[in-house]
């Protein structure tokens, strides 16, 4: 069975292109996720991992969708291969473990070397972006223009959709529903839900 995994780093990004390419490749199931790829501690990826069985094929659009931490990419890749799960990276045909099953020596060696190099490049790109962001913030602070990231979900937000989401989160917290259940229903990051929960605790004793 071909199972796809589509991921972007934030709620504002779109998964449509990845999903379309995964469907075109013949994926029967596609797990979608909007969360950072800095590690593999992701709810949907964990669900995907539990579903994968001997002989299945995990398909991703590009290696950065799989993850952005070199050591963890290499470790997870090996774990999947050891479980007899094949991996296909659509934009890098050389990273297709199925094509090396009956090939010993040079074929697999080329794949392993290429994976090592590409995972390193993916991590370097993540670090480059983070460095550029920090530098931009430092420059803005020096100019007195940096105000920090605007809080999207808050009681006084001018956006009615965001306010509705905020009120839904508060209502679910007041009913003692778990952060994970709220995350699954609303799509809001767990850290944001924890932040709202903490704020509510500071103003009311009704949430435990």
Residue numbers annotated as active site: 9
CB within 8 A of 74, min separation 6: which ones?
115, 116, 119
Give the span between the Cα atoms of 14 and 196, in whole angstroms: 25
Give the span between the Cα atoms of 152 and 11, in whole angstroms: 11
Helix (H) / strand (E) containing 60: strand 57-60
Instruction: Report the candidate in 118, 115, 50, 35 with the shortest Cα–Cα distance to residue 85.
Output: 50
φ/ψ (deg, to 5) at 77 = -60, -50
8 Å CB contact between 89 and 62: yes
């Amino acid at each position: 069975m071909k199972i796809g995994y589509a991921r972007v780093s934030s709620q504002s990004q779109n998964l449509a292109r990845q999903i379309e390419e995964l469907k075109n490749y013949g994926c029967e199931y596609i797990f979608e996720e909007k969360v950072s790829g800095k590690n593999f501690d992701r709810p949907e990826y964990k669900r995907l991992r539990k579903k994968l069985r001997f002989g299945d094929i995990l398909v991703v659009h590009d290696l950065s969708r799989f993850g952005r931490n070199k050591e963890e990419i290499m470790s997870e890749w090996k774990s999947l291969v050891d479980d007899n799960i094949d991996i296909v990276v659509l934009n890098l045909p050389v990273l297709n473990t199925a094509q090396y099953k009956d090939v010993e020596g040079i074929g697999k060696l080329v794949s392993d070397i290429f994976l090592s190099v590409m995972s390193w490049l993916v991590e370097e790109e993540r670090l480059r972006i983070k460095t550029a962001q920090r530098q931009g913030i430092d420059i803005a602070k020096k100019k007195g223009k940096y105000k920090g990231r605007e809080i999207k979900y808050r009681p006084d937000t001018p956006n009615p959709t965001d306010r509705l989401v905020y009120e839904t989160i508060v209502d679910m917290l007041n009913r003692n529903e778990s952060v994970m259940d709220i995350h699954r229903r609303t799509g809001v990051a767990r850290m944001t839900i924890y932040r709202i929960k903490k704020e509510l605790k500071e103003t009311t004793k009704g949430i435990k």
